[in-house]
Chains A and B, each alone.
Chain A
């Protein structure tokens, strides 16, 4: 069984494509599409890497990441943020929240794959 990636993304076709490329690379992938209970899902899933969209229904990715970083058990979880908001202030906000890597849409599959590998230490 490969390492576990949790993908929180509300665009189903993006989620499906990322899931496909990661699974073909040997990762175990689970997905979630809502921001409201995202922190609970992360705690329960205990992933090795979290791929997190910024604009989610009910709660922003920034808020979710802030709460994760405040939790000692999750403060070191590697997080890749995906967003269509590529402005410099969004990147700065993501860095202030404690993101490990920030990627703007549209991204390349190879870029996502390489980043997830790097974040997991593999």
Chain B
């Protein structure tokens, strides 16, 4: 099948809405008008680079054309239902199965529910992160210890002063001095604590950790930094980039940009773009051509700026614990910010096969196909050092629907696949939503 049935219909509707001639659109994406006609009538499958090119010409997300706004909305509603499972507001499976009906009959309300559910999820992550920070922030731990110690000293001293009417004058003077010094210390420590919270609130709106702030910034830039391509100093750029986050986030960004600059130095943009197009965007060929590691070639492909005829690339990196450290999403295909992702993705498959480059086509439950290249390589370390690895995965829309593809999902709770060996929790979509593996 095509990316999904109805893709052609959606292309045709979008083209007509923009007053574009069929021949003009066909010409702009390098195909014949008759072929586009077949696509628009769903008589030819479409995916990969051609879908992305048509989406770009029409000014819509490829995922919208491939899956339809309704599908995206239904998925968002199902995700919202999965997050409310087990709570007082949790829905019965029979209600969850009616997500499509809600999206069709009351699309405005459905979008509101989906948006609010996403916002609630984001706020819950914020609360979890803040709680984690309260438990592990060394500054907070030390400050709270100081405050409680001062309070203990003040309480004991004040109790002696108040409860010992026959206290000798020298002891009284001594305890009064102690009281004064502890009160001063308490006020200074409290002010420092307040300043710490105030600075955190100003410097990290929306992001809890430095790595998250950097990942968000990189995603917003599409992992392309024209200043560095032009020879700018990465550390200077990291210090001045308009991003949220504190000093730690900028230090991490500097590390990321230093590597970007090293990739750019070894694979200059113009040469790399030309070689990449010539070899059909094959990272293995490019790594060999430029004498770099497979991970560097994957990152460099992801750094290519959007251009007609050039595929969109997504990039995901994780560390040995599976924690995502860098994300550049594909248009219309959001990537998870936190854990609970499908472990069948090549990102995680590479993690258990260090050093072995993987190339695989994966298929989402709705039929959307992606081509993935992933490699897990050691990072730093030396003899006797702990093994530190990093996985780099490059994603692009698959060029066609032919051949085998590994079935993957997003996360178990909203994945309708049955009989999956990797499933770690039941799906909320079983009722009325089963699809075969």
Q: Which residues of A contact B (CB under 8 A)?
A: 11, 13-14, 16-18, 20-21, 24, 55, 82, 84-86, 104-109
Contact = CB atoms under 8 A, between A and B. Distances in A.
A14 B145 contact: no
Interface residues of B, number: 21
**Majority SS at the chain B contact face:** helix
B383 interface: no
A17 B157 contact: yes
Interface stretch (B16-24, B146-154, B211-219, B250-258): B146-154
A17 B181 CA distance: 14
Interface string B142-185: 00110011011111110110011000000100110010011000
A21 B161 CA distance: 11
Contacts of B155: 106-108
The 7 closest A-B pairs by CB, nearest first: A17-B156, A84-B148, A105-B152, A106-B152, A13-B153, A106-B151, A13-B178
Nearest to A17: B156
A7 B181 CA distance: 22
A14 B160 contact: no
A14 B159 contact: no
Nearest to B141: A85
A106 B104 CA distance: 60
Contact of B151 (A17, A21, A86, A105): A105
A56 B362 CA distance: 56
Nearest to B181: A13
B184 to A, nearest CB: 12
**Majority SS at the chain A contact face:** mixed
Contacts of A24: 164
Interface string B411-423: 0000000000000
B153 A109 contact: no
Contacts of A84: 144-145, 148-149, 152
A43 B153 CA distance: 28
A106 B155 CA distance: 7
A16 B156 CA distance: 9
Contacts of A16: 174-175, 178
A24 B156 CA distance: 14
20 contacts: A11-B152, A14-B156, A17-B156, A17-B157, A21-B160, A24-B164, A55-B145, A82-B152, A84-B144, A84-B149, A86-B148, A104-B148, A105-B149, A106-B151, A106-B152, A107-B155, A108-B155, A108-B159, A109-B160, A109-B163
Contacts of A17: 153, 156-157, 159-160, 175, 178
Contacts of A13: 153, 157, 178, 181-182
Contacts of B174: 16
Nearest to A54: B145
Contacts of B157: 13, 17
Interface string B126-152: 000000000000000000110011011
Contacts of A86: 148
Given A14-B156, A20-B171, A105 B148 contact: yes
A13 B154 CA distance: 8
B100 to A, nearest CB: 47
A84 to B, nearest CB: 4
A82 B156 CA distance: 13
Given A16-B178, A106-B152, 11 more contacts: A11-B153, A13-B182, A14-B152, A17-B153, A17-B156, A20-B175, A21-B156, A84-B144, A105-B151, A105-B152, A109-B163
B180 to A, nearest CB: 10
Contacts of B148: 84, 86, 104-106
B310 to A, nearest CB: 54
Contacts of B153: 11, 13-14, 17
Given A13-B182, A16-B178, A107 B152 contact: yes
A109 B158 CA distance: 10
Best-surrounded residue of B149, B154, B155, B159 (most CB of chain A within 10 A): B149
